[in-house]
Amino acid sequence: MRCIFNLIASVVLAVLLVLVVNIVGDAIYPTPGGMKSAHATAEQKAEKAEQEAENEALAEAEESADTASAEEAREAEKEAEKKAEKEAEKADKAEETAGADSGGDKSFADMVAAADPAAGKSATTQCKACHTFKKGGGKRMGPNLYGVVGSKKASVEGFSYSQALKDLGGKWTVEALSGYLKNPSGFAPGNKMAFGGIKDDQKRAAVIAYLKSLSD
């Protein structure tokens, strides 16, 4: 845009220069008779017309520059709006997560109570590579999980647990299971369940609801 303005400015300057030279030339060398002056006036008229055209072009260019910048401003505004919206969304999500976290284990137990064990069962397909779920089922890579909710941690007979899991102590409450299944290596560093964890709260709650249903 600045390029165009520079161009137009130099053209206007050049035209003015020609005009001034003409006028000064006429003043210094006044020509006898009307011929030259008539010629000069015609020339001046032409110059004037040219200048007017230039001015018009300049005005037009300015106008289009104005609309262009107005468009740009509108676009920038739109972008800023979008950004703000996204930010608000993010803040909302953060609040939700914070709420879920601060709601803590109590609300997770509620989630388990409300969850659908059948949905949890289908989510345990990924566990079956390493676990059996039936009563009296054998061990695989991991121990049998029948009745695990409420049982003592690391207590299935005949399974050789890692020291990390044995050192946890206590029972598999809903909350403890949630912590372990959300992030196995974070909950019990050094344990040997090679599983990434179920990050989705709803899904984890459903899996635990299913585990809970596996009892006498």
Residue nearer to ligand HEC on the CB measure, 36 or 192:
192
Return the number of the residue (115 or 193) whose C-beta is nearest ligand HEC: 193
Which residue is it, tokens 């984890």? Answer: 204
Q: Is the Cβ of residue 25 or residue 190 nearer to ligand HEC in the bound state?
A: 190
The string of DSSP codes covering 158-207 is T----HHHHTT-SB--HHHHHHHHH-HHHHSTT----------HHHHHHH
Quick check: 154 and 168 in contact, CB under 8 A? yes
Query: By the 8 A CB rule, do 105 and 175 touch?
Result: yes
At its nearest, how many Å lie between ligand HEC and the CB of residue 70?
A: 57
Q: Give how many residues touch ligand HEC by CB under 6 A.
A: 27
Contact between 111 and ligand HEC by CB under 6 A: the answer reads: no
The correct pick among 1, 76, 141, 186 for binding ligand HEC (CB under 6 A) is: 141
As a whole number of angstroms, the distance between CA 197 and CA 200 comes to 9
- Candidates 43-51, 88-96, 103-111, 152-160; binding stretch for ligand HEC (CB under 6 A): 152-160
How many angstroms separate the CA atoms of 44 and 38, rounded?
10
Min dist. Cβ of residue 170 to ligand HEC (A): 11
- Residues 45, 52: Cα–Cα separation, whole Å: 10
CA nearest neighbour of 22 among 2, 3, 46, 49: 46
Among 154, 206, 209, 214, binds ligand HEC (CB under 6 A): 154
- C-beta closer to ligand HEC: residue 99 or 190: 190
- For ligand HEC, the binding residues (CB under 6 A) are 124, 126-127, 129-131, 141-143, 145, 148, 153-154, 156, 161-162, 164-165, 177, 181, 191-195, 198, 207
